[in-house]
């Protein structure tokens, strides 16, 4: 029966493959850098340490603004009609 002779004594350390270091340094195999080339926006705005700077609602204030602008326009239309009326009374149609 044929047996393979086993080496005796401590096993020599395995040598590093010669391509390991160049392979890791290849530009296609490198890990992406920690910082992306463009700044990414944070998912949530950071809160101020004082806790006072938080987004406040604008929808209600916007609605009030729109209503007031519409009321001013309606008053302007009435004023224009009154001016036209006065002109017709003074100068005729």
Partner 1 sequence: MSELVDGPLFLLLVTGFLMVPTALAAAATALVWVHRARTNAALLSPHLRLRYSPTASVLLLLIPVANAYFIGPILGDIRAASFPYGHDERGTRLVRAFWATTVVTAAVAGTGNLVLSAVSEWLFAPGRAAGEAAAHHVTAAALTFQTVTYLLAVASAVLFALVVRHISRLQTRAHGRPLIVTRVTPPHPRPTVPGRPGRPTHSRRRNR
CB of 33 to partner 1, least distance (A): 19
Selection from 12, 29, 11 nearest residue 20 by Cα: 29
Residue 37 binding partner 1, by CB under 8 A: no
Read off the tokens for 85: 């009326």
Residue 12 binding partner 1, by CB under 8 A: no
Q: Using CA atoms, how far apart are residues 24 and 26, in angstroms rounded to an integer? A: 6
Specify the stretch interacting with partner 1 by CB under 8 A; choose among 9-17, 20-28, 29-37, 75-83: 75-83
Is residue 18 a contact partner of residue 24, using CB atoms and an 8 Å limit?
Answer: no
Residue 24 binding partner 1, by CB under 8 A: no
Options 7, 9, 36, 41; binder of partner 1; rule CB under 8 A: 41
The b-or-e profile of 24-33 (16+ CB within 10 A means b, else e) is eeeeeeeeee
Binding site for partner 1 (CB under 8 A): 39-42, 45-47, 49-59, 61-62, 64-66, 68-73, 75-87, 89-91
């Amino acid at each position: 029966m044929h047996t393979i002779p086993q080496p005796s004594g401590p096993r020599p350390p395995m040598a590093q493959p010669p391509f390991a270091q160049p392979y890791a340094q290849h530009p296609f195999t490198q890990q992406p850098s920690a910082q992306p080339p463009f700044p990414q926006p944070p998912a949530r705005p950071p809160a101020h340490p004082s806790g006072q700077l938080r987004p406040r609602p604008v929808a209600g204030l916007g609605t009030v603004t729109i209503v007031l602008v519409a009321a001013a326009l309606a008053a302007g239309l009435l004023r224009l009609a009154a001016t036209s009326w006065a002109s017709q009374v003074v100068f005729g149609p």
